Structure 1
Amino acid sequence: MADKLQGVESSAISILKRAVELDSSKRYDEAVTCYQEGLQLLLEVMKGVSDGAKKEKFRQKMLEYMARAEELKKFVRDEKTAGKQHEQIQIESNATGYSYETLFSRFLNQFLTEIEVEDPYIRSHHQIYNFLRFCELVVKSKAPVKEIRLLTGSDENPELQSQQHDKLGQLSESLQKHNIKLTIKYSDTLHDREIRFDTGWVVKIGRGLDIYKAAESKFSIGFCDFDLRPCHQTTIDIFNRKYMKESVDTAEDTV
């Protein structure tokens, strides 16, 4: 009986270890299945344990794994529901209420670890400041982001190019203090403007991060708070490439 119980315990540990590995690899559906299978086996083991301290240890572990499994189930369910919809936001000229926090905060959750920003115009002083504000939002959100990858164009003027690279280099050093790596690459042929989150979400903005009109002065309302800053006219498309692909594949299978 003891040997059988030991075998079940070994299987439970192996499956739960696999669940954690899948969880870390963002394969959440598979992770949930492994968590559930491992918990079922761990429950069998706990029923056969007479030692009070060991039983309590198993109980605590089960509660920990159950909480994580439920968390992942809810996340996957919510993402699938939202991700199958293509959302479009039309921002009219001079419209307000579209700060980076308003637009992006919903994507900065506990499952996010990497962000890719493609915008050919992170060059001039105010454009780099826009990117800085976006990075500040990421840091402030407490999302466990480890890396931000920026692909942008390089200024054609050698002097301005040097200033651009220097400013982005300073931002990179600052982000390192918050344990975020900034990887910068330059492209002369880049045209698309989109932000990709490694949870699958993609935000395509016609004007990239440069959606705001210049403030009337440094002491006018809207200079500091982007929710109060008038915007240029632009279109924002939001979709989840992972679940949109699943929807397309399912539709093709039914044809």
Structure 2
Amino acid sequence: MSRSVLAGMENSAVTVLKRAIELDNESRLPDALVCYQEGIHFLMEVLKATKEEAKKVHYRKKIADYMDRAEKIKEQLNDLKEKGKYHEQIKIPDDATGFCYEKLFKPYFDSFVTEVWVEDPYIRHVHQVYNFLKFCEMLVKGPCSVKTIHLLTSLDNAGNAQQTSGLEEIKQSLQRYNITLEVIYSPSIHDREIRFNNGWIIKIGRGLDYFKKTQGRFSIGYCDFDLRHCHETTVDIFHVKHTKNT
């Protein structure tokens, strides 16, 4: 590994671990754990490529410290989940960026997730159906092994042809990945929540539709939702031992 690559890897480790500490201080434990694990990985790569013994001792100490903190977070999370007391709240400020679905949801699903429930009354208009498509694409990319996605939403009586045809197209497309999409329409649905069958429940005040429109179809943020400006909303995350099926 060249000196410049080694320096870049070390800088990446510092950046990620600094973010891990910030998230840890904010009690955003799952996010912090992901960052600690990623930072530890970077430090281990740096350690492998380091020749100086004094630096090796330094990196080993840092890795041991961060691994110890990561294990304590795991224990804390497991204890809270076992007692059904886990609750985390994320506030997305108005006009904020950096809150794409991957950033928001990935800390809460893993390779054991096989079933997902989406309850959102506003998967009706074209842009909202696209939001749901982006969410499904995230699940397809993994690391989970989703087999079934349940969507409970309301029917757009004014233009339901676009809504139903769009959701049907998503359903057909998901079948190519051996994923079944079940859509149920309810006239009385109001709550918005997403559940994974590993016990995580995410409630977003605005549902999946918390992104603002871009200035045009060729504006930054139109394709990459991580660069899209957001409406102000609150995200509440819970964990239960047994996720309800309906």
TM-score of the aligned structures, taking structure 1 as reference length: 0.62
1:49-128 to 2 correspondences below 5 Å: 80-81=78-79, 83=81, 84-128=85-129
Q: Bigger radius of gyration, 1 or 2?
A: 1
Q: What residue in structure 1 maps to residue 229 of structure 2?
A: 230
In 1: Cα distance, 2:122 partner to 2:176 partner: 25
- Tell me the amino acid that sits aligned with residue 112 of structure 2: F
| 2:77/2:86 contact within 8 Å kept | no
* 1: CA distance, partners of 2:126 / 2:79: 40
What CA deviation, in whole Å up to 9, does each residue of 1:194-216 have, x standing for no partner?
Answer: 00111110000000000000001
Q: Describe the shift of the 1:196–1:222 C-alpha distance in structure 2 as closer, same or farther (beyond 3 A).
A: same
Q: Provide the aligned length of Structure 1 versus Structure 2.
A: 167
Structure 2 residue aligned with 1:170: 169
Correspondences of 1:1-255 after superposition (within 5 Å): 80-81=78-79, 83=81, 84-157=85-158, 160-242=159-241
Could you tell me the TM-score, scaled by structure 2's length?
A: 0.65
CA RMSD, aligned part only? 1.8
Q: Could you tell which deviates more after superposition, 94-103 or 138-147?
A: 138-147
3-state SS of paired residue (2:98): coil
> Could you tell me which amino acid in structure 2 is paired with residue 130 of structure 1?
N
Q: Give the distance between the partners of 1:99 and 1:143, measured in 2 at CA.
A: 18
State how far apart, in whole Å, the 1-side matches of 2:133 and 2:214 are: 18
Segments of 4+ moved more than 2 angstroms:
76-79, 81-85
Q: Check the 8 A contact 1:89/1:237 in 2, yes or no.
A: yes
- Secondary structure at the aligned position of 2:241 is classed as helix
Q: Which runs of 5+ in 2 are unaligned?
A: 1-73
* Equivalent residue, structure 1, for 2:50: none
Structure-2 separation of matches of 1:135 and 1:193 = 17
Gaps of 5+ in 1: 1-75, 244-255
1:82 & 1:155 partners in 2: Cα distance?
40
CA distance in 2, matches of 1:205, 1:145: 21
Deviations 1:122-160 (A, max 9, x none): 000000000000000000114111100000000122xx1
The 1:228/1:80 distance shift into structure 2, 3 A limit, reads same
Partner of 2:52: none
1:78–1:109 Cα change, 3 Å: farther
1:71-90 per-residue CA deviation (whole Å, 9 max, x = no partner) reads xxxxx957524634310011
Aligned to 2:21: none
> How many angstroms does 1:241 deviate by?
2.0
Counterpart contact for 1:116–1:197, Cα < 8 Å: yes
SS at 2:166 equivalent: helix
Write the distance in 2 (CA, Å) between the matches of 1:77 and 1:149.
31
Provide the rounded CA distance (Å) in 2 between the counterparts of 1:241 and 1:186: 26
Question: Per-residue CA shift, 1:38-86, capped at 9, x if unaligned?
Answer: xxxxxxxxxxxxxxxxxxxxxxxxxxxxxxxxxxxxxx95752463431
Equivalent residues of 1:108, 1:138 under 8 A apart: no
Q: Secondary structure at the match of 2:140?
A: helix
Aligned partner of residue 242 in structure 1, secondary structure = coil
Q: What one-letter code is carried by the residue in structure 1 that aligns with 2:150?
A: R
Letter paired with 1:169: E
The structure with the greater share of residues assigned to helix is 1
